[in-house]
Amino acid sequence: MSSQYQAALDTGSFQIQRCKACAQAIFYPRELCPHCGSDALAWEQPSGQGTVYSTTVIRRKTEAGGDYNVALVDLAEGPRMMSRVEGMAPADVKIGMAVKAEVIEHNGKGLVVFKAA
């Protein structure tokens, strides 16, 4: 499942799963629905809209890349995912902030990050 997810990211497409049995959106990729146990899962492109649930700043020396933030983001479809908010100072990312997903290339692989909406 994670290889399919990464393959989609590598082409610039952010995908999550939805259970055909109970209609719940699911992230991270799985073989079975964590809500009802069904194996009838389908891939879909989420809206990308989300809200910062939690955030922290990781402090690093400038020569190591500088500070960055790690955030838990609640997607509009329901699942929560860990990523980072880019395009602003890490300390300026706030709980409750509206964000929008974007797929970027990082070390040759697709990666989901968020920007302030």
Q: Number of folded domains in the chain?
A: 1
32-88 pLDDT, tens digit per residue, is: 999 999 999 999 999 999 999 999 999 999 999 899 999 999 999 999 999 999 999
CATH for 43: 2.40.50.840
* Nearest C-alpha neighbor of 49 from the set 111, 104, 110, 98: 98
Percent of the chain having pLDDT more than 70? 99
pLDDT score, position 98:
98
pLDDT score, position 94:
97
By the 8 A CB rule, do 73 and 52 touch?
yes
H/E element, 3? helix 2-10
35 is in which domain, residue-wise? 2-116
By the 8 A CB rule, do 104 and 110 touch?
yes
